[in-house]
Amino acid sequence: MSLEPVQVMSGQVAELPKVAPSSNGDSGGSWEGKREFDKDHLGLTAKPKPPKPENAVTVAVSSRVLFRTEREQKVFEQKGVEEYLRYQIEHENEPFAPGPAFPFVKALEAVNARLRELYPQSEELFDIVLVTYNHAHVGIRLINTINHHNLFIERFCMTGGSSPIGYLKAWQTNLYLSADANKVREALTEGIAAATMFMPEKMTEVSESQLRVAFDGDAVLFSDESERIFKAHGLDKFFEHEKENEDRLLDHGPLKGFLEALGKLQKKFYAKGQRLDCPIRTYLVTARSAASSGIRALKTLRAWGLEIDEALFLAGAPKGPMLEKIRPHIYFDDQMFHVEGAAEMGTVAAHVPYGIAQKHNSKHNTSAGK
């Protein structure tokens, strides 16, 4: 199976699961009188204020992964920008269908609702920024779509065809999700955690009450140091290297900071005695073997002060079936082989184009570390 960004392999619109009520006012009855809400000119309760970027966990998503825009993209590619803009304006009252990032964003909003209940004054929340190369004229359709789907997204970045990377840095972005692999690579080069999203042919039903995020290990949470040993010298040398360096920490990978941000929010629930009912759960899903190479990964996470709720060491077994059981809202991996395998099982997988594996990325590629 060959994946293209935000295309469904069967050509059918995948049915997206429902998630918990968003933080845009649906649950407002339980939040009445809390000061994070604005009051309109009539004194009525309005939507909550977006948090300041320096306090928030900022997730930037492109319009092409939050919504389904294949038809519009085809108009742009075949007829050019002017016809594309005309088409968007003519259809601005027709909302876009949900895209692959939609369940993830709804889950972020569900976590925000829980955080606001526990910490009414806190701005330590997820903040979602919609990023698009579109002209500002398209903004009306995007706003109509956001309101139609009952999302709470107040921050937009419409660049009119320019690169959004500078704006992502200004937003202090913790994660950037896009359908444009080149822009994802540019973001990674600038030190921003980023991944290319794909629409699987089918969509596994995901939790309505718990955000689940799964990570690969090497070249995602960790550097590609160990993967380079495997590529250059083979499996035996890889195991030997890991044994010799068992007590030396792995360097950080591009998604380490995002796991750190998730952990910070998890601890806010733990502080209220809600460890067993935390609405955020994280997973390490790696092809490393537990006994021969897993201990170094676990020691590194512990030294960083990071907790992973579940760790699966698969010793080279396929990841797709395990991910089907986990049912994450998103899974990050640096190898397309594993991204495709996850998508075949209905998991929304995101490719992190980082490290030595990018020189070997193909359907037939295998890995020891991952």
pLDDT of residue 272: 97
364 compared with 215, residue with greater pLDDT: 215
What is the dihedral sign for C-alpha 58, 133, 220, 250?
negative
The proportion of the chain whose per-residue pLDDT surpasses 90, expressed as a percent, equals: 61
Does residue 235 belong to any structural domain of this protein?
Answer: yes
Of the candidate ranges 50-54, 271-275, 323-327, the one whose mean pLDDT is the lowest: 50-54
Q: How many residues are recorded in the chain?
A: 370
Q: pLDDT class for 47, splitting at 50, 70, 90?
A: low
* Residue 24: CB atoms within 10 Å: 19
pLDDT band for position 46 (cuts 50, 70, 90): low
Residue whose C-alpha is closest to residue 225's, from 248, 196, 204: 248
Residue 4 has a pLDDT of 53
More reliable by pLDDT, 46 or 168: 168
* Same domain, residue pair 238 and 144: no
Count CA atoms closer than 13 A to 271's CA, side-chain side.
9
Read off the pLDDT band of 210 (50, 70, 90): very high
Q: What is the pLDDT of residue 167?
A: 93
CATH number at residue 135: 3.40.50.1000
Task: Give me the DSSP letters along 279-294.
Answer: SEEEEEEESS-IIIII
**Total domains present in the chain:** 2
Distance CA 335, CA 325 (A): 20
The number of beta carbons lying within 10 Å of the beta carbon of residue 277 is 11
| Closest alpha carbon to 187 in 58, 86, 38, 76 | 58
Q: What angle do CA 184, 131, 12 make, to 5 degrees?
A: 80
Q: Tell me: the pLDDT tens digits for 292-317?
A: 778 889 999 999 999 999 999 998 88
Domain boundary among 173, 197, 221: 197
Mean pLDDT of 165-175: 94
Q: Average pLDDT of 56-71?
A: 95
Q: Can you tell me the distance from the alpha carbon of 332 to that of 197, in angstroms, rounded to the nearest whole number?
A: 9
Q: For residue 180, indicate whether it is catalytic.
A: no
Tell how strand 57-62 and strand 175-178 pair up. Answer: parallel
Residue where a domain terminates, one of 170, 197, 224: 197
- Which listed residue (38, 127, 180, 216) is catalytic? 216
Residue 305 covered by a domain: yes
